């Protein structure tokens, strides 16, 4: 699935990106265009083509056939560009206000041309700078309910869902998640990045039999549950927002998986941003954590009642069972994600940016202890406020108790 020597693929330059934008008639024929490569990821080129005098722009994203930070030695499928643009089109069916519009795709060149969202900021960055995004959790709760419900058996019926799932065969990117989120952080793997003072805790984690066992079960469930079309990497770096607007980008990890995974990733990364803040400025972020679940559950329930292909869906108590199962999946996956952000390869930048070493280590160890509880004791979580209560206990170095 990776590029081959005789493929026609070649990477764009700022110049050829402008030529492409012109060819697609995305600007007036005579427009003065400028282009800047703004990708900060490892996997893609991102060109921002603008017509400054008109205040117009587009984004041209191109997948690279290797992981940029490591170099050409680590090839990676170009198929992920197709996954991303296909997923954006599917998500736009259910939640058009929460994804960028796709104007054009070219699978040979692994190119997606889409809406310019440069009036928004990346939520991870904004949260680190103290932004609140008052509508963030409401929008993300709605986005998740609509895309996850909309692509499930409940909305589509099993035949159409099975058909759609065939399009999202994405084994290489699933493997990255399986390794870097679920496996490596739980074992003493060379890819883990463990800050010196955290080493004793990391070693305790790697010897924790119960954690390993429950982590393995969560991984297994992730691998075999074709429940809904997931974004697959829904951390706060995959969300653009302002005070009034929210857009989810970069679904190149899209595949059919368990609904709780998307929810858990959003919760985990919001919790990490909360940890990184001083205690009194955490509250808005913790409110996002409880609100995102409340909005998800309410919207999911409304969609369930409005259009449901499952003849047994009306069974008394069954919707409650489903919501609790999705919630507890989300709790577990939030734990897996937090753990990898503390001792895996890809860390939370806002926590790493804390210069006070004692405070940074305290936050990391609190986050790791919370992550452990979310994984091991996920069946004890029944309501979203328990997550916030658990964070406070972890932050006070208290054992996490569930009333």
Contact positions vs a second copy (CB under 8 A): 153, 158-159, 162-163, 166, 169, 171-172, 174-175, 178, 182-183, 186-187, 209-210, 212-213, 215-217, 219-220, 223-227, 310-313, 315-318, 321-322
3-state secondary structure of 92: helix
Nearer to a second copy, 149 or 182 (CB): 182
Q: Is 115 annotated as a binding residue?
A: yes
Q: How far is the CB of 66 from a second copy (least distance, A)?
A: 18
Nearer to a second copy, 58 or 230 (CB): 230
Q: Is 340 annotated as a binding residue?
A: yes
Q: How far is the CB of 153 from a second copy (least distance, A)?
A: 6
Q: Is 377 annotated as a binding residue?
A: no
With beta carbons less than 8 A apart as the criterion, state whether 58 and 113 touch. yes
Nearer to a second copy, 36 or 169 (CB): 169
Nearer to a second copy, 74 or 318 (CB): 318
Nearer to a second copy, 216 or 401 (CB): 216
Residues 6+ away with beta carbon under 8 Å from 94: 146, 147, 149, 150, 151
Q: How far is residue 362's CA from residue 358's CA, in Å, rounded to a whole number? A: 6
Q: Is 373 annotated as a binding residue?
A: no
Q: Is 252 annotated as a binding residue?
A: yes
> Which tokens belong to 272?
């990490």
Q: How far is the CB of 243 from a second copy (least distance, A)?
A: 38
Q: How far is the CB of 226 from a second copy (least distance, A)?
A: 5
Q: Is 382 annotated as a binding residue?
A: no
DSSP 378: G
Q: How far is the CB of 223 from a second copy (least distance, A)?
A: 5
Q: How far is residue 277's CA from residue 212's CA, in Å, rounded to a whole number? A: 30
3-state secondary structure of 316: coil
Nearer to a second copy, 31 or 226 (CB): 226
DSSP 28: -
Enumerate long-range contacts of 378-385, CB under 8 Å, 24 or more apart. 378/214, 378/328, 378/329, 378/331, 378/332, 378/335, 379/328, 381/327, 381/328, 381/331, 382/324, 382/327, 384/289, 384/290, 384/293, 384/294, 384/327, 385/290
Annotated binding site for ATP: 44, 61, 115-117, 250-252
Annotated binding site for substrate: 233, 340
Annotated binding site: 44, 61, 115-117, 233, 250-252, 340
């Amino acid at each position: 699935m990776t590029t081959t020597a005789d493929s026609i693929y070649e990477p764009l330059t700022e110049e050829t990106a402008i030529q492409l934008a012109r060819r697609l008639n995305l600007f007036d024929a005579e427009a003065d265009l400028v282009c800047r490569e703004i990708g900060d990821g490892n996997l893609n080129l991102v060109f921002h083509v603008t017509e400054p005098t008109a205040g117009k722009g587009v984004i041209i994203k191109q997948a690279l056939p290797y992981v940029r930070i490591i170099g050409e030695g680590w090839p990676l499928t170009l198929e992920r560009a197709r996954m991303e643009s296909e997923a954006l089109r599917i998500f736009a069916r259910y939640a058009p206000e929460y994804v960028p519009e796709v104007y054009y795709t070219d699978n040979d060149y692994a190119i997606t041309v889409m809406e310019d969202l440069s009036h928004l900021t990346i939520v991870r960055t904004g949260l680190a700078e103290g932004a609140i995004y008052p509508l963030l959790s409401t929008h993300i709760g709605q986005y998740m309910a609509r895309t996850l419900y909309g692509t499930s058996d409940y909305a589509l019926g099993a035949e159409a869902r099975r058909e759609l799932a065939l399009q999202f065969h994405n084994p290489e990117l699933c493997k990255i998640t399986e390794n870097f989120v679920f496996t490596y952080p739980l074992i003493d793997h060379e890819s883990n990045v463990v800050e010196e003072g955290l080493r004793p805790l990391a070693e305790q984690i790697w010897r924790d039999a119960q954690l390993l066992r429950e982590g393995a079960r969560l991984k297994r469930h992730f691998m075999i549950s074709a429940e809904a079309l997931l974004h697959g990497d829904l951390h706060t770096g995959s969300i653009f927002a302002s005070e009034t607007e929210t857009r989810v980008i970069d679904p190149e990890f899209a595949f059919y998986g368990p609904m709780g995974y998307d929810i858990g990733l959003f919760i985990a990364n919001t919790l990490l941003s909360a940890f990184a803040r001083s205690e009194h400025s955490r509250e808005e972020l913790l409110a996002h954590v409880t609100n995102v679940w409340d909005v998800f559950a309410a919207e999911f329930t409304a969609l369930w009642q409005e259009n449901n292909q499952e003849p047994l869906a009306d069974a008394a108590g069954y919707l409650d069972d489903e919501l609790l199962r999705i919630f507890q999946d989300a709790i577990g996956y939030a734990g897996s994600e937090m753990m990898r952000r503390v001792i895996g390869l890809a860390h939370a930048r806002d926590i790493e940016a804390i210069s006070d070493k004692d405070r940074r280590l305290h936050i990391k160890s609190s986050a790791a202890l919370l992550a452990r509880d979310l994984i091991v004791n996920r069946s004890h979580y029944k309501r979203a406020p328990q997550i916030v209560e658990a964070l406070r206990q972890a932050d006070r170095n208290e054992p996490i108790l569930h009333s």
